[in-house]
């Protein structure tokens, strides 16, 4: 079942759609997608000096009108970075071999940036900055975004399908999946904390609420009212990943896990008498991009030049 971040909801359609929660990393460890020597925070200081304010203003306006947009951008950013590195391939329009995950806010920001800095800033960098600003507007922390990415000219549906973790993964499979990207258990738990905002579809959590035993009964019953037991009835119905504060970027996600109120099976696996338990309790209190001459700077984020 393919993952998607399409539309304005952060919807987990059968995939574990985590994203970066940077303040949980140790100080020396940068967020996803910035571990590359050619990237630097002041990459556009002379070529597009107003870039940060342009993106910040656009994100602020959009999120003010629809709080779900922050979660949508987090989802897009994770999907983009986890597969091939942060190259904006996830934004490309659907083709016979690839299903893209467009969102209007990124295209809107791109068109605004192009008015001031034509052909200079990649869609990959715009997505990275917009995601950071969306997290901040949701009450989360800020972090330094390294810049200088290029946009991919191709995308592969098979690679995307194989790389992203499923919401039914157990802890062992999650650890293996993240280890392939050079991410350890602590980083897995930290990245999963992005599920503090957004929603999941019924098809992604149906099996958990009807079959898992490590789940709070009242929590399960509440979601059963949203998600009927037999597909396809209610497949697209939504439930918040963080039942208490789904619009706020906080640590309620981890509190929910300890209370056996994780919505996805893969989320609750992080607190299920395993090696991740102490990391979750502690949270209660970069994948290589395209740089240099590789790729391109797209004029429109959903299409190659």
Catalytic residues: 79
112 known member of a binding site: no
165 known member of a binding site: yes
Beta bridge partners of 239: 200
Q: Which two tokens stand for residue 186?
A: 């602590």
243 known member of a binding site: no
Q: Which two tokens stand for residue 43?
A: 């990459």
106 membership: H or E segment, kind and range: helix 104-116
223 known member of a binding site: no
201 membership: H or E segment, kind and range: strand 199-201
- Phi/psi at 57 (nearest 5 deg)? -65, -40
What angle separates helix 69-84 from helix 51-65, to the nearest 10 degrees? 130
Measured CA to CA, the distance from residue 55 to residue 301 in angstroms comes to 15
196 known member of a binding site: yes
User: Alpha-carbon Rg of the chain, whole angstroms?
Assistant: 18
265 known member of a binding site: no
85 known member of a binding site: yes
**Cβ neighbours of residue 38 closer than 8 Å, sequence gap 6 or more:** 148, 291, 292
139 known member of a binding site: no
Binding residue ranges for substrate: 165
Binding residue ranges for heme b: 195
Binding residue ranges: 80, 83, 85, 87, 89, 101, 165, 195-196, 242, 245, 250
Binding residue ranges for Ca(2+): 80, 83, 85, 87, 89, 101, 196, 242, 245, 250
């Amino acid at each position: 079942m393919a993952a998607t971040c399409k539309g304005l909801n952060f919807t987990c359609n059968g995939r574990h759609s985590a994203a970066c929660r940077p303040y949980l990393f140790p100080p020396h460890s940068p967020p996803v997608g910035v571990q590359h020597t050619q990237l630097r925070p002041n990459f556009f200081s002379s070529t597009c000096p107003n870039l940060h304010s342009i993106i910040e203003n656009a994100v602020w306006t959009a999120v003010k009108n629809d709080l779900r947009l922050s979660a949508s951008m987090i989802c897009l950013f994770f999907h983009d970075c986890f597969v091939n590195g942060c190259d904006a391939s996830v934004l490309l329009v659907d083709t016979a071999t690839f299903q893209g995950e467009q969102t209007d806010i990124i295209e809107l920001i791109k068109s605004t940036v192009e008015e001031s800095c034509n052909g200079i800033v990649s869609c990959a960098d715009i997505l990275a900055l917009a995601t950071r600003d969306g997290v901040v507007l949701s009450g989360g922390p800020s972090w330094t975004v390294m810049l200088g990415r290029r946009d991919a000219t191709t995308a592969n549906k098979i690679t995307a399908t194989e790389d992203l973790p499923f919401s039914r993964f157990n802890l062992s499979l999650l650890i293996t999946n993240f280890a392939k990207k050079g991410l350890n258990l602590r980083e897995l738990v930290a990245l999963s904390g992005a599920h503090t905002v957004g929603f999941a579809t019924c098809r992604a959590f149906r099996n958990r609420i009807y079959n898992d035993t490590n789940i709070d009964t009242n929590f399960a019953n509440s979601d059963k009212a949203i998600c009927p037991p037999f597909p396809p009835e209610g497949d697209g119905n939504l439930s918040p990943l963080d039942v208490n504060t789904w619009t706020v970027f906080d640590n309620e996600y981890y509190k929910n896990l300890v209370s056996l109120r994780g919505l996805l099976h893969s989320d609750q696996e992080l607190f299920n008498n395993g090696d991740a338990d102490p990391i979750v309790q502690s949270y209660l209190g970069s994948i290589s991009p395209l740089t240099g001459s590789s790729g391109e700077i797209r004029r429109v984020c959903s299409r190659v030049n």
